[in-house]
Amino acid sequence: MKALVKGAPGPGLELADVPDPRPGPGEVLLRVKRTGICGTDLHIDTWDDWAARTIKAPLVVGHEFVGEVVEVGAAVTRVKPGDLVSGEGHIVCGTCRNCRAGRRHLCANTIGLGVHVDGAFAEYVVLPEQNAWVHGHPVDLDVAAIFDPFGNAVHTALSFPVLGEDVLITGAGPIGLMAAAVAKHAGARHVVITDVSEPRLALAAKLGVDVALDVSHSAIADVYDRLEMTEGFDVGMEMSGQPSALREMIANMTHGGRIAMLGLPSREISVDFSTVVLKMLTIKGIYGREMFETWYAMSVLLQAGLDLTPVITHRYHYTEHAAAFDTARGGHSGKVIMDWES
């Protein structure tokens, strides 16, 4: 089969012929239909310090995907050939304290599809049955391909109640955009999203945010009068990983405000913790999805009319992977999809 492979340590990916995978007793084999490009894939392609420490080549990359089940292992009982499946890319041990307590998203032994084991940028991929989310209702294939990052957005956006609240989101990348759409759908009074990319802020406006703010020209506090806000924001979602974004968020939270932090900083962040204490703020780290409560919420949100299609801005065939990665790396796009069907 064809697959996008990190063949050896160093920058770059290659489209190569690799053996077709075979499912084990508790696994399912899927024919991949669509995949989404994630920031993790860009790190692996570039071969930065994180990738050099983490990735063992050769490796088939990719973890955002949707596919059709074509074969199941002998011990598989729930998933069947013909099912349309999105994949949960975090593979957990099942035996640690958190796994046994039903808190699989907190498994300390998690390994990543397309990071530690061969992934989904390929014509076929193998997945543990427990990681297969079978779509029971019609879903757009491009949207189904990005259930992984959509789950990050839902997990972040619904970590704290947003109904009637004023919400600040820092970072209008694809996950920030999806989180904004979820917050509006869930009844937030005002949603303000910040970035320095005009194309991404324009996408946010299409998704219905109240203010899409370019923080290279305006301060967050400037929106208070426009939105008739008398205090700071009730809920914050930090998506950028930028030190200045977290500091500005903390400065603009109301007393008792709550912050969900998904953005992964590339360096240490200096924070005024006296403000955190005096305002009695809550800061919660978010990683991945709550398996599988978030997946249930994702499907329900789509059935209830949440429209994610504006977040998807570019589509390529997998043979155009270089152009697809360049677009995703440029910082001006929403979600970039690769089509793996002939």
At residue 63, what is the residue type? H
| pLDDT at residue 274 in the model | 95
Cα(329)–Cα(291) distance, rounded to whole angstroms? Answer: 29
> Is 95 part of the annotated catalytic residue set?
no
User: Within 13 Å of residue 339, how many CA atoms lie on the same side as its CB?
Assistant: 10
- 43-80 pLDDT per residue, tens: 999 999 999 999 999 999 999 999 999 999 999 999 99
- Which of 9, 121, 112 has the alpha carbon at shortest distance from 60? 121
Cα(34)–Cα(45) distance, rounded to whole angstroms? Answer: 19
| pLDDT at residue 266 in the model | 78
pTM of this structure: 0.94
Residues in the annotated binding site: 38, 63-64, 93, 96, 99, 107, 175, 195, 200, 262-264, 286-287
**CATH code for 153-285?**
3.40.50.720
Cα(308)–Cα(83) distance, rounded to whole angstroms? Answer: 22
> Is 43 part of the annotated catalytic residue set?
yes
Q: With contact defined as beta carbons under 8 Å apart, do 262 and 150 qualify?
A: no
Positive or negative CA dihedral for 95, 101, 102, 106?
negative
| pLDDT at residue 267 in the model | 83
Q: How far is CA 325 from CA 31, 143, 265, 314, in A?
A: 22, 19, 22, 11
Residues in the annotated binding site for Zn(2+): 38, 63-64, 93, 96, 99, 107
**CATH code for 2-146+308-339?**
3.90.180.10
**Start-to-end Cα distance in the chain:** 12
Where are the chain's structural domains? Answer: 2-146+308-339, 153-285
- 79-92 pLDDT per residue, tens: 999 999 999 999 99
Question: Which is the catalytic residue, given 43, 135, 185, 332?
Answer: 43
Query: Which of the residues in the chain have pLDDT under 70?
Result: none
| pLDDT at residue 76 in the model | 98
Residues in the annotated binding site for NAD(+): 175, 195, 200, 262-264, 286-287
Question: Which is the catalytic residue, given 40, 110, 170, 254?
Answer: 40
